[in-house]
Amino acid sequence: MFLDKAYTRDSSQVIALLEEGIEKEQTLPLRMALAELSLLEAQKRRDSDPQKKMYYILAAKHAYDYLFFDTRSEDSSTLSPSFRFMADIYNLAIAELISMRATRENPWESSDLDYRGIHYHFEVVKEGTGIWDPSWFDYIHNAYEIRVTGLTNEYTTKGLGAPLVGIVEKPAQNPHFGRFFPSRLVAYPISAVLLFDPIRKGQTTSRNIRLVFYDSLVTESLTIQNRQVPLEADFTTPLGLQLRKTNPFQTGLHNLISSDVELKNAGIYMLEPYRPDKIPVLMVHGLMSSPSTWAGLFNDLRGDPQLRKRYQFWFFMYPTGLPIGYSTSILRDQLKAIRALFDPDGNNPNFNQMVIMGHSMGGLLTRGMVQDSGTTYWDSFFKEPFETIDMDPNTKELLKNIMVFEHQPYVKRVIFVATPHRGSPMADAWYTRLFSGLIELPSAVSDTTAKMISGGSLTESASAVYTKKVSNSISLLSPSSIYTQTTNKVPLRPDIPYHSIIGTRKNVPAAGSSDGIVPYESSHLDFTQSEKLVPSGHSAHTHPLAIDEVKRILREHLAVIAAQNSESQ
């Protein structure tokens, strides 16, 4: 029977006629036609039409029944064209349905509806492993409708479910997220499915429908009718949406010059809830930068299924005009605080395998996490020992935190990217010194410097530097600065594997080359497990070869852990 003319006249009547047919004889072609026609019917109706929602549900239902109730599992495959076609209809119907519900007041409450003698009970599942409660989000967007810019690669997985983006506008103030989350927007990848229970017949014919929002970073597949089905997910669109809210250059510049203002925002930030089953990878940005500099690398790391499953990625943000030792002390304090919150007993085997990656000046901060300073820094600045120096207690304690410290034992691998271990000659250029004078430092830093100078306890070399004001990060990056010379006297922990990624702009393989800011001789370390040279400027962490190297290192870290666990058994 040809229904094309009848469909043109009254599409809803034709759908009703086909519904009668499917009730009498369930066939795959008829189920497929109903799923497709129901989706088209929903799309052409106005949002105010009360039947629009019902047709989206019908489209998802018929696609679901086609995939899981009308076929034998041994005859079906997620790779077959028919599965993909029906999955696309199912996914799109759910995405549109959620977009409609999200605009309602109390959108995630249970509801009931009737259609052709069947009572449907609709509920939202809000608890369970790897399941999001949708009420935690301020907005939920359909990822199909968002165009990503600013990222080179897009990472998705094909399967069942609608890829969504969950937005939390102020996660730091949200009780479900809180400390160690950004103060402004974060976006999460979500995979939403509608699960249709079998029809129950009794006094009334009924069917339950459950809407589940799976955390795409935790749940990769689900089991339906004894079949394991991959979830459709979009890992790049949430990050792209988050990047729209930032201006990397403006943020980095303000982070440098207005270090006094930005000090309140310094800290470690997570972009997903803490996962005790995942190893933390902490990324530390460099001078005149911000965590957004890691966006491309982060996107590529999270897009890798193995790395996504085993690692969680954190970011340290700090005002880059601060003295390097002061920023290092903030990083150390933040690590201690996040450890105390999430692993207070220090027994989590994943937290105890942390990897830190520092770019440029961020690599110098990272050094401070794997050094035992003793009194080396203190002795470079002060003539008297800490115990006998005459200084008010608060200032003394602040200086001790900056200059006397121990390594963090849970840091088990370090990646240095374009790090000026021996400084950068550019810090001595006249234009750099001129720009350095624009940096505004917090009063705690300037007041402490004033007390150091007035106390008369500085060494001769320190007195020659600290005559008028404290040195900021730019001046401390000079190869001749006290900080640079002293930090190279403090060895790094010998039991930790180190890796270097170094940019080379000239056609020189090693010695004599440079990334334009840091000479190879400054970035090179003799004792690293690996050293990767990439044809790049100073932003070597954005180069594809550098990203591949980071992936390799993180996989190597997993292999080493697996070998250690095997030996201990």
**pLDDT tens string 262-281:** 888 899 999 999 999 999 99
CATH T-level assignment (fold) for domain 253-537: Rossmann fold (3.40.50)
3-state secondary structure (DSSP) of residue 180: coil
Which residues have C-beta within 8 Å of that of residue 44, sequence separation ≥ 6?
Answer: 11
Q: What is the pLDDT of residue 74?
A: 41
* Residue whose token pair is 């497929």: 32
Tell me what the pLDDT averaged over the chain comes to: 89
Q: How far does Cα 52 stand from its chain's mean position?
A: 36
Tell how strand 354-359 and strand 279-284 pair up: parallel
Domain ranges of the chain: 4-238, 253-537
Q: What is the pLDDT of residue 72?
A: 45
> 77 vs 184, which has greater pLDDT?
184
Quick check: 14 pLDDT over 50? Answer: yes
Quick check: 253 pLDDT over 60? Answer: yes
Quick check: 317 pLDDT over 70? Answer: yes
pLDDT in tens, 38-72: 999 999 988 888 889 999 999 999 999 999 876 54
Q: What is the pLDDT of residue 564?
A: 92
3-state secondary structure (DSSP) of residue 161: coil
Q: What is the pLDDT of residue 217?
A: 96
> pTM of the full predicted structure?
0.92
Cα-Cα-Cα-Cα torsion 271, 274, 279, 282, nearest 10 degrees, comes to 40
> 342 vs 445, which has greater pLDDT?
342
pLDDT in tens, 190-217: 999 999 999 898 888 999 999 999 999 9
Among 135-149, 306-320, 414-428, 443-457, the minimum mean pLDDT is found in 443-457
pLDDT in tens, 474-500: 888 999 999 999 999 999 999 999 999
pLDDT in tens, 398-411: 889 999 999 999 99
* Residue whose token pair is 């201990």: 568
Q: What is the pLDDT of residue 410?
A: 98
